Structure formats: C-alpha cells, structure tokens
C-alpha cells in the first residue's frame, strides 16, 4: 500500500511528465495550432486537482482501499491523457 506522501509524489510525477510531453510536442510542432494540446494540459491540471483533493480527504474509512482506488484512477486517467497526446496532429 502506498502511503499518502508517496501517492502525492506519484500523482505529481505522472501528471507533470504528461504536461512536459505536451510541451515537447508543442516545441516540435510550433507551426501547428495548440488548442488541442492546451486542452490536454488543462485536463491534466484538473485531474491533478481532483486526485490531490481525494488524497487529502480525511473522511475515508478504509484508507488502504481509498488509496488503491486513487492509484487506479491515476493510472487510467494518465493512460487516457497519453493517448490524447499520441493523437495530437
């Protein structure tokens, strides 16, 4: 089981890397419009805020299951964002 600190670091690293990948794509494709890439960044920031709020929620009765669910959501949302990066034109 992840503890709260490790889970927060994982969220920060994963979503930070996704945002960085979008910036690299923008630099490599400077002549193309970036509305789609900006939407991916905005979605990553919203996802970050949601997951951190859930980590900080003290009302969870079963902490292990709560953190496991957050970790699973991070993985699925992270994969979805990566797919969106891969589909950028």
pLDDT given for residue 88 in this prediction = 86
**Does pLDDT of 1 surpass 70?**
no
pLDDT given for residue 34 in this prediction = 81
pLDDT given for residue 77 in this prediction = 97
Residue of higher predicted confidence among 20 and 33? 20
Question: pLDDT-based confidence at 3, cuts 50/70/90?
Answer: confident
**Does pLDDT of 32 surpass 80?**
no
Q: Give the burial string for 38-71 (b: 16+ CB within 10 Å, else e).
A: eebbebbeebbeebbebbeeeeeeeeeebbeebb
């Amino acid at each position: 089981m992840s503890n709260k600190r490790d889970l927060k670091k994982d969220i920060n690293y994963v979503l930070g890397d996704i945002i960085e990948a979008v910036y690299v794509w923008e630099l490599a494709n400077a002549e193309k419009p970036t509305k789609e890439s900006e939407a991916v960044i905005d979605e990553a920031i919203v996802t970050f805020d949601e997951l951190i709020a859930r980590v900080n929620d003290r009302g969870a009765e079963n902490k292990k299951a709560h953190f496991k669910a957050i970790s699973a959501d991070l993985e699925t949302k992270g994969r979805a964002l990566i797919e969106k990066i891969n589909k950028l034109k």
